[in-house]
Amino acid sequence: MKIKGTFLDEISHDIPHQNWGRKEWDLDFDYMKKVGINTVVLIRSGYRKWLTYPSQILMEQERAYQSSVDLVQMFLELSSKHGMDFYFGLYDSGRYWVNGDFQGELDLNKALIEEVWEKYGQMPAFKGWYISQECSRKTGSIIKMYAGLGEHCKAVSGSLTTLISPYIDGIKNISQYKPETSRTLGVSLKRHEEDWNEIFDGIKNAVDIVAFQDGHIDFDELDDFLQINKQLADRHGIRSWTNSESFDRDMPIKFLPIKWEKLLMKLKAAERAGMEQAITFEFSHFMSPQSAYLQAGHLYNRYKEYLDQLK
């Protein structure tokens, strides 16, 4: 199992910003390419009032702050330069859908999708869409929202690929703003299966790929949950990736690069489950040799050694 893609976390709200410019990003894409990464996924194009590109819709309707740099344009250009596919992450209002107004989130993003496609759709690296609203359970109108977003992305772009990366409501599903790292009980395998069987049934014509985050469950639960995720996706004709998180949820400091042994354990579990490939959240903070975290470069070296062993 190899990491073939990474998220780009440029709308940071719980991970420190690295204040990179084009030079640093260009070098990071080169580091990614050297370990076989061929896909980059913008985690979200905006969160609340912070934007990655100057969106007229969001500046007018949400009073968002105008971005000083068009990061979407830059990422698309760097993706072309380094031969990578770029997936555009939608806007997360941080208020509509989380407060039960799923239709409001859907309507706003529909307008955004049209704006983005008109502005960037002809750039060659633009290969797909990422539905950035993350969920773990069948709550509210999440099925209707996912289906509506995926369908609109496809209708506007000529059926480009759509991706979601939900999480598992496990024992490590703890707010980053709390000191704890785990709780006593997480979702049962049976309840997880029931929820996602219903969700997948409702979104199977709108979402092409699912990449469940693998960090919210304990390591001895990995095989069971990853295998059921793969079986459910297969049942509904959805492709299975795994989002193998490269940060550590077991540490009191949130968040630091993960111990290599833990990442390796997760990659091996994904391989046993039959996942198509791995992506990670996320390379630039937690695996890059130029990360603000010194240990990220060491993780990069350990991963390169792993790739050499596979050869």
* pLDDT over 80 at 269, yes or no: yes
Write out the DSSP string of 177-194. Answer: TSS-S--S----HHHHHH
Give the residue from 123, 127, 112, 200 showing the smallest Cα distance to 158.
127
Helix 142-157 and helix 102-120, axial crossing angle in degrees, nearest 10: 20
Q: Distance from first CA to last CA of the chain, Å, rounded?
A: 12
Q: Residue 183: what pLDDT?
A: 72
Average pLDDT over residues 78-93: 98
pLDDT at residue number 17? 92
pLDDT of residue 171: 85
Question: How large a percentage of the chain has pLDDT more than 70?
Answer: 99
Residue 244 has pLDDT above 90, yes or no: yes
How does pLDDT run across 277-297, given as a tens digit for each residue?
Answer: 999 999 999 999 999 999 999
Q: What integer best gives the mean pLDDT of the chain?
A: 95
Predicted local confidence at residue 114, as pLDDT:
98
In which band, very low, low, confident or very high, does the pLDDT at 174 lie, cut at 50, 70 and 90? confident
> Which of 265, 256, 198, 279 minimizes the C-alpha distance to 232?
198
HEC letters along 12-52: CCCCCCCCCCHHHHHHHHHHHHHCCCCEEEECCCEECCEEC
Query: Please, are residues 146 and 103 in contact by the beta-carbon 8 Å criterion?
Result: no
Structure tokens belonging to residue 223? 């095989």
Residue 200, pLDDT > 80, answer yes
175-188 pLDDT, tens per residue? 777 777 777 788 89
User: Can you list the domains of the chain with their CATH numbers?
Assistant: 3-310 (3.20.20.80)
The pLDDT value recorded for residue 13 is: 77
pLDDT at 47: 96
Give the count of alpha carbons within 13 A of 14, CB side only.
9
pLDDT tens-digit series, residues 33-45? 999 999 999 999 9
Residue with tokens 């502005």, as numbered in its chain: 119
Contact 147, 198 (CB under 8 A): no
* 189 class by beta-carbon count within 10 Å (0-12 exposed, 13-18 middle, 19+ buried): middle
pLDDT in tens, 7-30: 999 876 788 999 999 999 999 999
Query: CB burial class (10 A; 0-12, 13-18, 19+) of residue 202?
Result: middle
Whether 144 shows a pLDDT value over 80: the answer reads yes
Mean pLDDT for 70-79 is: 98
